[in-house]
């Protein structure tokens, strides 16, 4: 779906227009083949150059063409659930001497929020618009990582009452953070190379905004790595708790088996076809029961003191 937006420094709100003009922002969400053909008409790129924009697994990088600069980044998905195994989606930004173009193979909640809000930057300021978008992406990662951090911290508070579902959630968070780290580290390199390699030139105020984006990205990477270590430590603690629980169950079953074996042994002995004490006593059965019960109580007290029961 192709939409065109335009805003100058004099306008307060982002306007949606029907035809592409110089200085406009062309946004393509849920991109299809025909959308890419429209981009080919606006740039010096070919369909082969644009093929990677539809790859859901595409990694962040920079491609320089004759008149166009392509910047591949990834953004966190809007929802963190177990129904999807992909927690980051690609976004391609294309800067030419006339247009600012964004291409996403799926719905992009960050661009949607920008379009709904009052964009403080004109679409004619392409470099500044790129920096603003990168800052929003880094802030989105930071927000999602902090949310996971709070969830992990809540698991630490009730480590003694863990359930199987808690283990499943930790595995999910670990997978999300690993995907975030895999996206953030190359994106951080992309951010830093934009200026260092001379891909773009910024004014002083743009440079400050760009530095904020880079700092935010670095912080997100650090928080991801810290939380991954916390999850690993927490999983090890969970394993110790589960092992202790299993040991207690095995101790209980072992003690219970020994106690219940006692009357079985006595009954087996008195079931033999040989002469035994009290064989002719009419109360022999009662005596055998009482003796068995006494031995059971004795072992029960012994195991209880040793905390096996």
Q: What CATH number does residue 12 fall under? A: 3.30.460.20
% the chain with pLDDT above 70: 94
Q: Is pLDDT above 90 for 13?
A: no
Select from 101, 122, 143 the last residue of a domain.
122
Predicted TM-score (pTM) of this structure? 0.76
- Eight-state DSSP code of residue 70: E
The band of 72, judged by pLDDT with boundaries at 50, 70 and 90, is: very high
Mean pLDDT in residue range 50-74: 90
CA separation for the pair 22, 216 (Å, rounded) = 32
- For residue 195, tell me if it sits in a domain: no
Q: Is pLDDT above 80 for 256?
A: yes
Q: Taking Cα atoms as reference points, which of 142, 90, 124 lies closest to residue 14?
A: 124
- For residue 76, tell me if it sits in a domain: yes
The band of 94, judged by pLDDT with boundaries at 50, 70 and 90, is: very high
CA separation for the pair 158, 234 (Å, rounded) = 11
Mean pLDDT in residue range 278-296: 80
CA separation for the pair 17, 6 (Å, rounded) = 7
- For residue 206, tell me if it sits in a domain: no
The band of 71, judged by pLDDT with boundaries at 50, 70 and 90, is: very high
Q: Is pLDDT above 90 for 93?
A: yes
Please state the domain count of the chain: 2
At 114 the pLDDT is 81
CA separation for the pair 192, 197 (Å, rounded) = 8
- For residue 89, tell me if it sits in a domain: yes
Mean pLDDT in residue range 139-146: 87
| Residue 26, phi then psi, degrees to nearest 5 | -100, 115
At 84 the pLDDT is 65
- For residue 232, tell me if it sits in a domain: no
- For residue 147, tell me if it sits in a domain: no
At 80 the pLDDT is 57
Select from 64, 90, 122 the last residue of a domain.
122
List, in sequence order, the alpha helices (H) in the chain. Answer: 33-42, 47-50, 109-116, 126-157, 164-196, 204-270, 284-305
Select from 99, 122, 145 the last residue of a domain.
122
Mean pLDDT in residue range 118-134: 84
Mean pLDDT over the full length of the chain: 83
pLDDT in tens, 182-203: 898 898 888 888 877 777 776 7
At 152 the pLDDT is 81
At 103 the pLDDT is 93
- For residue 174, tell me if it sits in a domain: no
CA separation for the pair 200, 93 (Å, rounded) = 13
Which of 27-31, 79-83, 197-201 shows the lowest per-residue confidence on average (mean pLDDT)?
A: 79-83
Q: How far apart are the first and last CA of the chain?
A: 67
Beta bridge partners of 64: 69
At 199 the pLDDT is 75
Mean pLDDT in residue range 288-305: 84
At 159 the pLDDT is 67
- Eight-state DSSP code of residue 149: H
Mean pLDDT in residue range 230-237: 82
Q: Is pLDDT above 80 for 83?
A: no
Which of 25-39, 94-108, 216-230 shows the lowest per-residue confidence on average (mean pLDDT)?
A: 216-230
Q: Judge contact between 234 and 155, C-beta under 8 A.
A: yes
Write out the residue range of the structural domain in which residue 252 sits. 244-305
Q: Is pLDDT above 80 for 292?
A: yes
Q: Which of 1-10, 158-167, 279-288 has the highest mean pLDDT?
A: 1-10
Q: In what order do the strands lie in the sheet with 88-95?
A: 15-17, 2-6, 25-29, 100-104, 88-95, 69-76, 61-64
Label residue 273 exposed, middle or buried (CB < 10 Å: 0-12, 13-18, 19+). Answer: exposed
Q: Judge contact between 44 and 68, C-beta under 8 A.
A: yes
- For residue 142, tell me if it sits in a domain: no
């Amino acid at each position: 779906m192709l939409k065109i937006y335009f805003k100058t420094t004099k306008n307060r709100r982002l306007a949606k227009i029907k035809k592409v003009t110089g200085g406009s922002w062309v946004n393509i969400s849920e991109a299809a083949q025909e959308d890419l053909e429209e981009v080919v008409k606006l740039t010096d790129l070919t369909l082969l150059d644009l093929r990677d924009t539809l790859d859901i697994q595409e990694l962040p990088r920079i491609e320089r063409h004759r008149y166009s600069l392509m910047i591949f980044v990834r953004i966190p998905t809007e929802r963190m659930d177990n129904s999807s195994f992909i927690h980051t989606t690609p976004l391609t930004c294309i800067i030419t001497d006339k247009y600012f173009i964004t291409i996403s193979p799926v719905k992009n909640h960050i661009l949607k929020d920008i379009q709904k809000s009052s964009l403080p930057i004109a679409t004619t300021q392409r470099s500044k618009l790129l920096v603003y978008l990168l800052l929003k992406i880094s802030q989105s990662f930071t927000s999602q990582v902090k949310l996971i951090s709070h969830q992990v911290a809540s698991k630490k508070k009730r480590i003694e009452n863990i359930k199987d579902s808690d283990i499943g959630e930790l595995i999910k968070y670990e997978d999300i953070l690993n995907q975030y780290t895999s996206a953030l580290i190359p994106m951080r390199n992309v951010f830093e190379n934009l200026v260092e390699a001379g891909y773009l030139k910024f004014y002083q105020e743009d440079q400050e905004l760009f530095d904020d984006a880079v700092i935010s990205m670095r912080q997100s990477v650090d928080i991801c790595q810290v939380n991954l270590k916390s999850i690993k430590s927490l999983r090890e603690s969970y394993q110790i708790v589960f092992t202790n629980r299993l040991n207690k169950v095995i101790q209980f079953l072992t003690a219970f088996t020994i106690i219940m074996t006692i009357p079985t042994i006595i009954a087996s002995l008195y079931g033999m076809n040989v002469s035994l004490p009290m064989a002719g006593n009419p109360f022999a059965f009662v005596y055998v029961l009482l003796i068995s019960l006494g031995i059971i109580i004795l072992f029960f007290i012994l195991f209880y003191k040793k905390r096996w029961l």
